[in-house]
Amino acid sequence: MKNNSQKFIKFLHNDMKIPKNRKISNNDSLIDDLGFDSLDRMDIVYFIESTTNKELKEDIIEKINTVKDVVDYLDKCDKRE
């Protein structure tokens, strides 16, 4: 089974149309480095919610700014299960 980092990077390449030759780093900012806008961020929130089967609260959404933030949140949810 793929780890959360691989799952999220696959989502970015396939669903968010980041070119496959674009190396994605954990430190990449969703807005500054990957160029996402607020609608794109909502797609990412939906990805997180569908992956974890949990609704994200606004305070959590505000803290998700980098690839690492997403992966860390997914990892945290995995540990709770």
Domains (range + CATH), the chain: 4-80 (1.10.1200.10)
CA–CA gap between residue 7 and residue 4 (Å, rounded): 5
Structure-token pair, residue 11: 């989502």
**Taking all residues of the chain, what is their mean pLDDT, rounded to a whole number?**
94
Q: Taking residues 19-26, report their average pLDDT.
A: 96
Whole-structure pTM value? 0.92
What is the per-residue pLDDT across 51-65, written as a single tens digit (0 to 9) for each?
999 999 999 999 999
Non-local CB neighbours of 58 within 8 Å, separated by 6+ positions = none
CA–CA gap between residue 57 and residue 39 (Å, rounded): 17
Task: State residue 79's pLDDT score.
Answer: 84
